[in-house]
Amino acid sequence: EGPRGNMAEGGPRKGVGSPQILAGSGYCKWFNVRMGFGFISMTSSEGKPVDPPLDVFVHQSKLVMEGFRSLREGEQVEFTFKRSSKGLESLRVTGPGGGPCSGSDRRPKGKFNKFCLDFSGPNWIMFSYSQFISCSIHSA
């Protein structure tokens, strides 16, 4: 048996294998809808209270919901997370009971919100990043 445990018996090895995935719950501390990320304040981990709450990074791609993905400040969430070199990172975020997140009413503003495609004529189509499904044809 070495300093890292007896591998024949499944002993621990530091830095090898996949990170441990844990379950937590809490609320959205803040979320930037334009940048698509924010932080969750974790108040419970593996069913045990966390006091004071710990910050867990959340990216919009990890949110379980339809349409534009975001969180509303104070929104209650449940999530799985891992510890990384950067801190705690969420892996999958849902609303209470595993339902979809509610999200924020806010949408990004400015040049990142819309773009236009020119079809070499008087018509052009405007797509909205915030909805992806809103599409309007405009005539000159």
CATH code matching the domain that covers 19-98, chosen among 2.30.30.830, 2.40.30.10, 3.20.20.370, 2.40.50.140: 2.40.50.140
Range(s) of the chain covered by CATH 2.40.50.140: 19-98
Instruction: Report, as an integer, the average pLDDT of 80-100.
Output: 97
Contact 70, 106 (CB under 8 A): yes
Q: How confident is the model at residue 109 (pLDDT cuts 50, 70, 90)?
A: confident
Strand order in the sheet with 124-128: 114-118, 124-128, 135-138
Phi, psi angles (nearest 5°) of residue 109: -115, 160
Q: What is the per-residue pLDDT across 25-84, written as a single tens digit (0 to 9) for each?
A: 999 999 999 999 999 999 999 999 999 999 999 999 999 999 999 999 999 999 999 999
37-47 pLDDT per residue, tens:
999 999 999 99
Output the pTM of the full model.
0.67
Q: Residue 19 above 90 pLDDT? A: no
Please choose, from the candidates 99, 101, 83, the residue with its C-alpha nearest in 3D space to the C-alpha of residue 91: 83
Q: From CA 100, how far away is CA 132, in angstroms rounded? A: 19
